C-alpha cells in the first residue's frame, strides 16, 4: 500500500525531530556521556514515589474526574498562589494534564482557527512548531540572539504581529538556552499582548529553576494578563518526575472548558497514581527540590566556566538546566560539531540547529548530569576543540 497518500498532509509536512535523529545514534551505547536529554539525573524523591506506591496499594486504579483529582487541583491552586502569586479557582480554572506536552497541544487546538498565527521565540523547545502545525495554525518564529541573552525583546515581537496573530507562546526560562526575560521586557511583552488582543501560552515548566537568587515572575501575574494567559506548568523538571507524565494548565474558566472538551475525549484524565504523587510533591517537596536546584546551580557555574576556558563562548543562563555555547569559532556546523564530538570523545550534546534556524552555530548541553561526568565531558570537549 502507498501509505504516503494515507498520511494527513499537515502531519506529513512535519520534519522529524532533530533531537530524535541524534539520539538514535546514541541508543545502546554505554560508553557515551550524555549531555543530551533534558531530564533531571535525580530519581524522583522517595516520599513522592512512596505516595504513588500507596495510591496503588490502596487500590486506587480508576479514572479520576476529567479535570483531575480535586485534592490535586486544590494543592495546585495553593502552590500557584504561593509561588506565582496568582489565584486560580480549583473548581473551574485548573486542568490537570498528561505533562505540559498535553497542555500545549490542547491549548493550541482549543484556541486556534485554521490559518491563525502563533508567534513564538526561537531557539525554542522542539514541540512548538509541530504542535502549531498539528492544530492547523501558522507558526511564526521570532529569532532571539546571543547578544540579547536569547531573550525575547518587545521591539522584535512587535515587528511580526499582524491582524492574523492570535497566540503568543512564551517559555521562560527557555529550553534550549536557559534564557530568562527581564521584568522590563516582560512588561513590554504584556503590553503588546493587551494592545493586540493576543492570548499568551506561558510554558513556565522551568520556573522554579531560577538561579542567582532571582525570583521567577510569571507574565500571568502582570496587570491585565491573567484573563488572557494560559499558565502551563508541571512536575517533570523541578520535582524530577518526567516519567509520571503530569502537568497542568491554569486559565480563565472558558479556556479551561474549551481545553477540557478535547482532553476528556483524547486523554480522559491523567493517571491517578501520578496525581496522588503530585499532591505529595506540592505539599512536602520543597526541601528536596531546593537540594536539586542548588546542585544544578553549582553545575551551571562549573560548566559555564569550563566552556569559556576551553574557548567556546558561553553566556550564563539564568534558569533551567541547559547551556548554549557558541561554537561558530570552530567553523563547524552544529550538527558537524555534535557528530564529531560524539565520534571522537563519546560525548553527546544536541546540535543547536535542532531548536530552529536561529539555534545554528550553538550546541545545547544539559548539565543535569553527575559532576564527575560533567568534569570528564568538559575535559573531552577541551581535547576535541584543541584538535580543530
Which residues are at the interface with ligand PLP (CB under 6 A)? 38, 99-101, 125, 171, 175, 203, 205, 234, 236, 242, 247
For ligand PLP, give the closer residue by CB, 104 or 161: 104
Pick the closest to residue 278 from 307, 303, 245 (CA basis). Answer: 245
Q: Are 380 and 347 in contact (CB under 8 A)?
A: yes
Pick the closest to residue 165 from 228, 256, 221, 103 (CA basis). Answer: 228
For ligand PLP, give the closer residue by CB, 236 or 330: 236
Pick the closest to residue 169 from 210, 160, 5 (CA basis). Answer: 160
For ligand PLP, give the closer residue by CB, 101 or 288: 101
* Lookup: cell for 26: 546514541
Shortest distance, position 244 Cβ to ligand PLP, whole Å: 9
Distance, in Å, from the CA atom of 311 to the CA atom of 306, rounded to the nearest integer, reads 9
Residue count (the chain): 388
For ligand PLP, give the closer residue by CB, 100 or 273: 100
Shortest distance, position 57 Cβ to ligand PLP, whole Å: 26
SS3 259: helix
Shortest distance, position 209 Cβ to ligand PLP, whole Å: 11
Shortest distance, position 104 Cβ to ligand PLP, whole Å: 7
Shortest distance, position 302 Cβ to ligand PLP, whole Å: 22
Shortest distance, position 125 Cβ to ligand PLP, whole Å: 4
* Lookup: cell for 209: 529553576
Pairing of strands 94-97, 247-250: antiparallel
For ligand PLP, give the closer residue by CB, 233 or 306: 233
Long-range pairs for 281-290 at CB < 8 Å and ≥24 separation?
281/45, 281/48, 281/51, 281/235, 281/239, 281/241, 282/72, 282/75, 282/76, 282/78, 282/79, 283/75, 284/47, 285/45, 285/47, 285/48, 285/239, 288/45, 288/47, 289/208, 289/238, 289/239
Shortest distance, position 102 Cβ to ligand PLP, whole Å: 7
Q: Are 177 and 155 in contact (CB under 8 A)?
A: no
Rounded to the nearest angstrom, the gap between the alpha carbon of residue 238 and the centroid of all alpha carbons in its chain is: 11
For ligand PLP, give the closer residue by CB, 18 or 247: 247
Shortest distance, position 383 Cβ to ligand PLP, whole Å: 30
Which residue's Cβ has the minimum distance to ligand PLP? 99
Shortest distance, position 294 Cβ to ligand PLP, whole Å: 21
Shortest distance, position 163 Cβ to ligand PLP, whole Å: 28
For ligand PLP, give the closer residue by CB, 175 or 274: 175
Residue 42: φ, ψ to 5°: -80, 145
End-to-end CA distance of the chain: 48
User: Which segments of the chain does DSSP mark as H helices, in order?
Assistant: 9-12, 18-26, 46-57, 70-83, 99-111, 128-134, 154-160, 183-195, 253-266, 272-284, 286-309, 334-345, 371-386
For ligand PLP, give the closer residue by CB, 269 or 378: 269
For ligand PLP, give the closer residue by CB, 179 or 192: 179
Q: What is the DSSP letter of 163?
A: T
Amino acid at each position: 500500500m502507498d501509505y504516503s497518500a494515507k498520511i494527513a498532509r499537515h502531519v506529513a509536512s512535519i520534519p522529524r525531530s532533530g533531537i530524535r535523529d541524534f539520539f538514535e545514534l546514541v541508543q545502546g551505547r554505554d560508553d557515551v556521556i550524555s549531555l543530551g536529554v533534558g531530564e533531571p539525573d535525580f530519581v524522583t524523591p522517595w516520599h513522592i514515589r512512596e505516595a504513588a506506591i500507596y495510591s496503588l496499594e490502596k487500590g486506587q486504579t480508576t479514572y479520576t474526574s476529567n479535570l483531575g483529582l480535586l485534592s490535586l487541583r486544590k494543592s495546585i491552586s495553593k502552590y500557584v498562589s504561593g509561588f506565582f502569586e496568582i489565584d486560580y479557582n480549583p473548581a473551574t480554572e485548573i486542568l490537570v494534564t498528561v505533562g505540559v506536552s498535553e497542555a500545549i497541544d490542547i491549548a493550541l487546538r482549543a484556541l486556534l482557527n485554521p490559518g491563525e498565527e502563533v508567534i513564538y521565540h526561537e531557539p525554542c523547545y522542539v514541540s512548538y512548531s509541530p504542535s502549531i502545525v498539528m492544530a492547523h495554525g501558522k507558526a511564526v518564529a521570532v529569532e532571539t540572539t546571543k547578544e540579547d541573552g536569547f531573550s525575547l525583546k518587545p521591539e522584535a515581537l512587535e515587528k511580526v504581529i499582524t491582524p492574523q496573530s492570535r497566540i503568543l507562546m512564551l517559555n521562560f526560562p527557555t529550553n534550549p538556552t536557559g534564557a530568562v526575560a527581564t521584568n522590563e521586557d516582560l512588561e513590554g511583552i504584556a503590553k503588546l499582548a493587551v494592545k493586540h488582543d493576543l492570548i499568551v501560552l506561558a510554558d513556565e515548566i522551568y520556573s522554579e529553576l531560577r538561579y542567582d537568587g532571582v525570583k521567577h515572575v510569571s507574565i500571568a501575574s502582570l496587570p491585565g494578563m491573567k484573563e488572557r494567559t494560559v499558565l502551563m506548568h508541571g512536575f517533570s523538571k523541578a520535582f524530577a518526575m518526567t516519567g509520571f507524565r503530569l502537568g497542568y494548565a491554569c486559565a480563565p474558566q472558558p479556556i479551561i472548558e474549551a481545553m477540557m472538551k478535547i482532553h476528556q475525549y483524547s486523554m480522559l484524565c491523567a493517571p491517578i497514581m501520578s496525581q496522588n504523587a503530585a499532591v505529595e510533591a506540592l505539599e512536602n517537596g520543597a526541601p528536596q527540590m531546593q537540594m536539586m536546584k542548588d546542585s544544578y546551580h553549582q553545575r551551571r557555574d562549573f560548566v559555564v566556566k569550563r566552556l569559556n576556558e576551553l574557548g567556546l563562548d558561553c553566556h550564563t543562563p539564568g534558569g533551567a538546566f541547559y547551556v548554549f555555547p557558541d561554537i561558530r569559532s570552530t567553523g563547524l556546523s552544529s550538527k558537524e560539531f555534535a557528530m564529531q564530538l560524539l565520534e571522537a570523545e563519546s560525548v553527546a550534546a544536541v546540535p543547536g540547529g535542532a531548536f530552529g534556524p536561529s539555534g545554528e552555530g550553538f550546541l545545547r548541553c544539559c548539565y543535569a548530569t553527575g559532576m564527575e561526568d560533567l568534569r570528564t565531558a568538559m575535559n573531552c570537549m577541551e581535547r576535541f576543540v584543541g584538535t580543530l
